[in-house]
Amino acid sequence: MVRPRGFDEDEVGEGLLAAFWRHGYARTSIPNLTEATGLLPGSLYAAFGSKEDMFRVAVDRYVSEIRAALTSELTGLAALEHVLGTVVRLTVKDRERRGCLVLNAIPESTTLSDETRQALQAGLDEMHQLLRRHLREVATTAHATADIAQLEALCFGAAVSIRVLGRAGQSRKLLQSIADGATAAARRALPT
Amino acid sequence: MVRPRGFDEDEVGEGLLAAFWRHGYARTSIPNLTEATGLLPGSLYAAFGSKEDMFRVAVDRYVSEIRAALTSELTGLAALEHVLGTVVRLTVKDRERRGCLVLNAIPESTTLSDETRQALQAGLDEMHQLLRRHLREVATTAHATADIAQLEALCFGAAVSIRVLGRAGQSRKLLQSIADGATAAARRALPT
DNA sequence: CAGGTTATTGACTGAACACTCAAGAACTGA
DNA sequence: TCAGTTCTTGAGTGTTCAGTCAATAACCTG
């Protein structure tokens, strides 16, 4: 009774993510998106509605991928070290040094709709919570005396700066030093 | 023999900075700039050459202002604490939460000319050096055993993340915790 | 195989963009 | 006051943008 979609939604989503990740929201044109997805403008709009809708698809995909990459089986300081190490690794292994889709888009968010801005906020919050969870666990098992909120903030800040400075093309050595500095700070602040 | 400029170069520079700081490079239109400066397109182009040239004027102004704001008479850990505290204060007291012009522009820099990209890199490097100078001094006066490069990186990362998360609208409390976390880490790592 | 529904196509629209330029205005030095 | 130079003006240029739509193609059900 109907004609089915001629494209794979997953592949198209991956194409949208690739394009927006490289160029950001505003500087990604519809021609860019047709090239990245293989779909023509009409199909894109029929399937998604608007350019911002396409962007939110990319953001959702991105956050899912990050969530998967940063979830760890480890506990305690080892988990923290592993997570920050993963952030460095993800940042550096990307030859294009695209950094974090969400953080890259923050400066643009003032010109986007409420819905899109909220999607970006939610993505940022989720990454924050992801780190908090690891550190809360460290704190409870260590009967910490140090200010845990400070450590949480420091480690979140470390992760954020690694992603941002990664896009800025800074050396792997610097990014790794930020990660190492944060874990060293946690180690010193917490009784083992 | 000649007709003099009918505008104050300083005021126009301030207008360019205000506009680019709020909207970034790409999303600042020439009409935006004419409104911010009071000059018409022809005058802007006659005076500066191109939109990117105008942007570099704004970047230079911005870096100068930051340099002035972050230069401190203090020494040792007090200097570090003061500098990071100033970063928090500058970030939070801006009602528009514009963050850092240079960091905001990093994601856009791939689409800019080499000259502009280098200007942004130079601005970032200068801010990095500014923090390094404070910490090197801390290290030499304290006969540190800790890894100074790590601490430098951690504090630079803290400053970067404060600016970025400031633009993202995060609470003053979080930003201050990042600063406090970094100074606490320095205090713990260095013998006093 | 045929009717009905949906997907795809790609030329098209109006708006916004960065940038230009010919004309006129404003000032200085003589 | 006037000649000479530079500055200012703002309409205009060609391009690119996000988004649309009438026509056509593809598919499923009966």
Confidence (pLDDT) at B75: 82
Closest by CA to A72, choosing from A166, A15, A135, is A135
Q: Is the pLDDT of residue B32 over 70?
A: yes
Chains A and B: how many Cβ contacts under 8 Å? 139
Closest by CA to A184, choosing from A153, A146, A142, A155, is A155
Q: Is the pLDDT of residue B143 over 70?
A: no
Inter-chain residue contact B161 with A160, CB threshold 8 Å: yes
Nearest chain A residue to B124, by CA: A168
Q: Is the pLDDT of residue B155 over 90?
A: yes
- Which single residue has its CA nearest the C1' atom of nucleotide C20? B42
Confidence (pLDDT) at B139: 67
- A178, A162 in Cβ contact below 8 A? yes
- What is the distance in angstroms between the Cα of A5 and the nearest Cα belonging to chain B? 34
Helix axes B76-93, B51-70, angle to 10 degrees: 130
The helices-and-strands tally (H runs, E runs) of chain A is 9, 0
Measured distance CA(A122)–CA(B171) in Å, rounded: 15
Distance A46 CA to C2 C1' (A): 27
Whether nucleic acid strand C comes within 7 Å of the CB of A47, the answer is yes
Measured distance CA(B70)–CA(B128) in Å, rounded: 11
Candidate from A142-146, B54-58, B99-103 with smallest mean pLDDT = A142-146
Measured distance CA(B159)–CA(B91) in Å, rounded: 10
Confidence (pLDDT) at B5: 74
Long-range contacts (CB closer than 8 Å, 24 or more residues apart) made by A140-146: A141/A75, A141/A76, A142/A76, A142/A190, A142/A191, A142/A192, A143/A191, A144/A189, A144/A190, A144/A191, A145/A191, A146/A189, A146/A190, A146/B184
Measured distance CA(A180)–CA(B62) in Å, rounded: 31
Q: Where are the alpha helices (DSSP H) in chain B?
A: 9-23, 30-37, 41-48, 51-70, 76-93, 101-105, 114-142, 148-167, 172-189
Q: What are phi and psi of A54, to 5 degrees?
A: -60, -40
Measured distance CA(A127)–CA(B161) in Å, rounded: 14
Q: Is the pLDDT of residue B144 over 60?
A: no
Closest by CA to A149, choosing from B170, B181, B189, is B181
The pLDDT of B94-109, averaged and rounded, is: 98
Identify the residue with better confidence: A158 or B146.
A158
Q: Output Rg (C-alpha) for chain A, integer angstroms.
A: 19
DSSP character at residue B95 = T
Minimum-distance CB partner of A188 among B152, B177, B188:
B188
Confidence (pLDDT) at B142: 59
DSSP character at residue B171 = -
Chain A positions with Cβ closer than 8 Å to B: 22-24, 26-27, 99, 103-108, 110-111, 121, 124, 146-147, 149-154, 156-158, 160-162, 164-165, 167-169, 174, 177-178, 180-182, 184-185, 188-189
Q: What percent of chain B has pLDDT over 90?
A: 80
Candidate from A14-18, A131-135, B82-86, B149-153 with smallest mean pLDDT = A131-135
Closest by CA to A135, choosing from A121, A154, A161, is A154
Q: From the CB of residue A70, how many other CB atoms can be counted at a distance below 10 Å?
A: 19
pTM for the structure as a whole: 0.94
Reported residue count of chain B is 192
The pLDDT of B7-29, averaged and rounded, is: 95
Residuewise pLDDT in 10s, chain A (192 residues) = 676 677 888 999 999 999 999 999 999 999 999 999 999 999 999 999 999 999 999 999 999 999 999 998 888 899 999 999 999 999 999 999 999 999 999 999 999 999 999 999 999 999 999 999 888 777 666 555 568 999 999 999 999 999 999 999 999 999 999 999 999 999 998 876
Measured distance CA(A189)–CA(A143) in Å, rounded: 11
Give the CB-side neighbour count of residue A10, counting CA atoms within 13 A.
2
- A157, A128 in Cβ contact below 8 A? no
Reported residue count of chain A is 192
